[in-house]
């Protein structure tokens, strides 16, 4: 028996065609989510170069956890960076600013990325994550990007979530640590899903 909504009418959300479309959209979302948040396939699989954005808390909140953050990021970069990746590092302080930008051609460039993060010194109370995220979203030059945001300032992160740039964090995966958190952000993922859905339903 068909499910009915109010007033005995058939609920259009439960018709086979609508359920089928919902399943297709859900599948596309899951697929896009997997592509963005999987561990970049690893260096051994020789994935194609991508844009990698690192947005680091530049407020004074970073000082107490900086050594732990540096060690964690260094290990993560060793896992994900491959030759040809285009890396941009932001310091998100009172105003976000780029502290490194370049293409990875070997170990020297990898070390330069790590050094730029080690030498970052936090100051002030603000962490301009919104500005860095907004700029990163306009810099994408490859088909896929990987954006990692490090926050040691809960107040600054909360202001992004409740502000006009909240949509930039819509597709994010959070890893919690004692006094800081790492977010993998799916920048521009919603637009990619819409394009994929349009192409899928139009086929």
Residue 86 vs residues 29, 82, 145, 167: alpha-carbon distances, Å: 26, 10, 9, 24
β-bridge partners, 182: 150, 175
Whole-number average pLDDT of the chain = 78
**How do 86-92 and 51-57 pair as beta strands?**
parallel
Q: What is the pLDDT of residue 22?
A: 56
Q: How far apart are CA 32 and CA 3, in angstroms?
A: 31
pLDDT digits (tens, 9 = 90+) for 75-110: 999 999 999 999 999 999 999 999 999 999 999 999
> Range with the lowest mean pLDDT among 5-19, 145-159, 187-201?
5-19
pLDDT digits (tens, 9 = 90+) for 121-144: 888 888 999 999 989 988 877 677
User: Of 62, 155, 126, 56, whose CA–CA distance to 98 is shortest?
Assistant: 56
CA dihedral 66, 110, 84, 97 (to 10 degrees): 40
Q: What is the pLDDT of residue 202?
A: 61
What is the DSSP secondary-structure string of 127-175? Answer: --HHHHHHHHHH---SS-EEEEEEES-HHHHHHHHTSTTGGGGSSEEEE
The SS3 assignment for 186 reads coil
What is the DSSP secondary-structure string of 51-80? Answer: EEEEEEE-SGGGGGGHHHHHHHHHHHHHHH
pTM (predicted TM-score)? 0.73
Q: What is the set of domains in the chain, with CATH numbers?
A: 6-35+194-202 (no CATH), 43-193 (3.40.50)
Q: What is the pLDDT of residue 203?
A: 53
The SS3 assignment for 176 reads strand
Q: What is the pLDDT of residue 200?
A: 52
Q: What is the pLDDT of residue 80?
A: 93
């Amino acid at each position: 028996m068909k499910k009915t909504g109010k007033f005995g009418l058939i609920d259009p959300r439960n018709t086979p065609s609508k359920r089928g479309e919902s399943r297709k959209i859900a599948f596309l979302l899951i697929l896009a989510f997997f592509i963005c948040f999987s561990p970049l396939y690893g260096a051994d699989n020789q994935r194609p170069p991508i844009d990698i954005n690192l947005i680091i808390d530049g407020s004074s909140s970073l000082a107490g956890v900086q050594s732990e953050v540096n060690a964690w990021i260094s290990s993560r970069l060793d896992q994900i960076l491959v030759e040809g990746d285009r890396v941009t590092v932001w310091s998100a302080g009172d105003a976000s600013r780029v502290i490194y930008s370049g293409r990875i051609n070997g170990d020297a460039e990898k070390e330069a990325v790590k050094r730029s993060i080690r030498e970052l010194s936090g100051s002030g109370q603000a962490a301009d994550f919104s500005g860095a995220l907004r700029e990163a979203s306009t810099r994408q030059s490859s088909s896929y990007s990987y954006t990692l945001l490090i926050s040691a300032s809960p107040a600054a992160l909360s202001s992004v979530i409740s502000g006009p740039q909240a949509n930039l964090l819509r597709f994010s995966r959070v890893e919690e640590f004692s006094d800081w958190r790492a977010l993998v952000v799916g920048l521009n993922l919603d637009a990619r899903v819409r394009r994929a859905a349009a192409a899928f339903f139009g086929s």
